[in-house]
A = this chain, B = another copy of it.
């Protein structure tokens, strides 16, 4: 953890996101947050919080990519959503004063701030704009979760895999403007997004490759024809 090498801005000068939940918060309150934050580093694969653990604060991602998953009774993982630079984590559990219900894992090396629960709640109560932002965050999460539910319940594997790739592209974009999706995932993780098995994922990716829609290069996935991929995913919106 070579903190000396990393430039860390105070919350008051945060530029990681132009539309984050804290963007509308006053300088004064950001200053309070600043005093109450702790800096954490996680290596790829490390767990940021576990399912069932008690909530001790709000996580704010300064850099890196994180997956939120949920384990079924049989231990199989389902990825619920992703979080990246500028996103916050753990608000659902914090706000309903619950334990974490979806473990978060670093998909690459991450730098995360932990904001004190008390301080956050304090600001939340005095800042209607922030509270509205949180409500919208929850609403959007709910909307996505319900959409994912429908997709997993009703779509075929190739549709779900295609949709997963579209989602990844939308979320993480391309590597310097090219066609390679800007995130490193194992086949097994892609399976955990689409709600299927590793083997089926591999076969399906190969099929999409053969169809000329994507191009598999090592572990990287290139999207050759996003429109066709969207068609394959049966996304109409």
Contact = CB atoms under 8 A, between A and B. Distances in A.
Interface of A: 70-74, 76, 78, 80, 92, 95-96, 98, 101-102, 125, 128, 131, 134-136, 138-143, 145-155, 195, 234, 236
A195 B98 CA distance: 28
21 contacts: A73-B154, A73-B236, A78-B150, A96-B135, A96-B136, A98-B139, A101-B143, A101-B146, A125-B128, A128-B131, A131-B131, A134-B135, A135-B135, A135-B138, A138-B139, A138-B142, A145-B145, A145-B149, A148-B149, A149-B149, A149-B152
By secondary structure, the A interface counts as: helix
B136 A80 contact: no
B153 A72 contact: yes
A146 B101 CA distance: 9
A97 B202 CA distance: 40
Contact of A139 (B95, B125, B131): B95
Contacts of A134: 135
B146 A80 contact: yes
A133 to B, nearest CB: 11
Contact of A72 (B95, B135, B154): B154
Given A148-B149, A149-B152, A150-B72, A140 B96 contact: yes
A231 to B, nearest CB: 11
Given A95-B136, A149-B149, 12 more contacts: A70-B147, A70-B149, A72-B150, A72-B153, A76-B154, A78-B153, A80-B149, A92-B142, A92-B143, A101-B146, A138-B142, A142-B145
A80 B236 CA distance: 20
A155 B153 CA distance: 11
